[in-house]
Amino acid sequence: MAAGGGDSDMGPMAMAPPSHGAAHAPPAGAGKAVAPPAGPHMSMMHMTFFWGDRAVVLFPGWPGARGGGAYALCLLFVLALAALTEALAAASRCVARRRGRDAGGRGGGVPASSAALLTAAHAARMGTAYLVMLAVMSFNGGVLLAAVAGHALGFLLARSRVHPGSGAAADAARERELAAGPDGSKA
């Protein structure tokens, strides 16, 4: 006797049979457990973070079950993509500052070349940021750590004041530049 109290072979976790009141005919094999179709591109979708090198990141089957080397390449790719996102953010800020300094605070029009460069940098930054987000949505812990490390490395190299050759003289020159007004006078 089945767990549901009847004489059917459906078992305790079986779904109820479909209703026959509509114009739909019952599917073939109704009442029997049917396994989902399995194909070469059928993979399990994780909804919680997991650890392992059998992840699918950004592209179907990549790196997949190709081994640790392909997984390490994937992590380096995500790290570089996140660092590039930070570098593009710094570059767009640099172009915007230079544009403001060249305009001299006159409130004049922006040259089309500067506007096009800023737009291209912004589009590239948003594209890389969305790719990093999609990579993290693979819910692989290593990919998450690679993305965070890439953003940190990109910030360190592109936006922090830690650069080779920086020292007291470079800091003093930077302070003089910041203290000067947009037209070169002291503010």
Query: Which residue in the block uniquely carries the two structure tokens 């998450």?
Result: 144
- pLDDT on residue 187: 41
pLDDT at 105: 55
Give the chain's residues under pLDDT 70.
1-44, 102-109, 162-187
**Domain segments of the chain as ranges:** 69-99+113-176
Residues 6+ away with beta carbon under 8 Å from 2? 8, 9, 10, 11, 12
What the block records as the tokens of 103 is 């305009």
Closest CA to 114 of 127, 126, 96, 101: 96
pLDDT at residue 85, as a whole number: 96
Q: Cβ distance 52 to 139 under 8 Å?
A: no
Please tell me the predicted confidence (pLDDT) of residue 117.
Answer: 84
What Rg value do the Cα atoms of the chain yield, rounded? 29
In this prediction, residue 38 carries a pLDDT of 54
| Six-digit token string for 70 | 């392909």
Using DSSP, state whether 180 is helix, strand or coil: strand
**Residues forming beta bridges with residue 53, ordered by sequence position:** none
- Residue 39 is which amino acid? G
- 184, amino acid identity: G
The CA–CA distances, whole Å, from 44 to 49, 56, 135 equal 13, 9, 16
Which residue type, as a one-letter code, is found at position 119? Answer: T
The CA-atom distances, in angstroms, between 125 and each of 45, 86, 146, 147 are 28, 8, 18, 15
Cβ atoms of residues 107 and 181 within 8 Å: no
